[in-house]
Every structure is written in structure tokens, then in C-alpha cells.
Amino acid sequence: MTTQDPDVKVLPSVTFRVAEREDLEKPYRVIVENDDVTPMDFVVLVLRVFFGLTPDQALGVMLTAHQEGRAHVTTLPYEEAQERVYNAHHSAREAGYPLTFYLEPDA
């Protein structure tokens, strides 16, 4: 695509891939990242509410993330993991915190 307007930016093409049902059922690891803004008690609450961790498990995951920069929360099928991460992010943003989770394929 060419344009004469210098204010129009052309982005590189993006390729989308339709995930197969089998890919969506593969296990993914949910990882929480440490940040210097989100209060520890809020992280524990999110881990309990959205990921079903016990108080002791949630505290342990939060402390690991705090000390090591990231921590494994749980392993779930892709769609379920993605939905829980979305809900956790939404809750954190509503509360004004940058709490971040991401997914990685389980090896």
C-alpha cells in the first residue's frame, strides 16, 4: 500500500493463525510478574479469587514472584488460562494496579 499522506503510517502485515482445538486444550503455565506498585495483599487476593489458590499457596506464589521477579501460578488448558488471566488483569486495572500475568506453553 502506498500513500501520499505523510501522516498515514503503514504497518507491516500481521498473520493470524486459527488455533486448532487440540492446541487450545494443551496445558499452559500461568506466570505472574513482580511489580513495585501492586500491594502484596492484593496479589494474594487475586491469586485466590481468580486462580483458586489456598491462602498458603497464594502467599508462596506472591513471595516467589517478589523475590525472583516471576512465579508459576498454575497450569491450565489454554482457553481457561486465558480467561482467568483476562479477569485478573481486568480486576487489577479496575483497582489501578499494573499486576501482570502471562501464559507460556507447558513443556
Query: Predicted confidence band at 91 (pLDDT cuts at 50, 70, 90)?
Result: very high
Nearest to 71 by CA among 21, 34, 18, 22: 34
Q: What is the pLDDT of residues 10-67, one digit of tens each?
A: 556 666 667 676 666 799 999 999 999 999 999 999 999 999 999 999 999 999 999 9
Q: Are 28 and 74 in contact (CB under 8 A)?
A: no
Spell out the domain ranges in the chain. 36-105
92, 38 contact by CB (below 8 A): yes
Q: Say how many C-beta atoms besides its own lie within 10 A of residue 38's C-beta.
A: 21
- DSSP structure class, residue 3: -
* CB count in 10 Å sphere of residue 102: 14
Burial class from Cβ neighbours inside 10 Å (0-12, 13-18, 19+) for residue 49 reads middle
Query: Architecture of domain 36-105 in CATH?
Result: 2-Layer Sandwich (3.30)
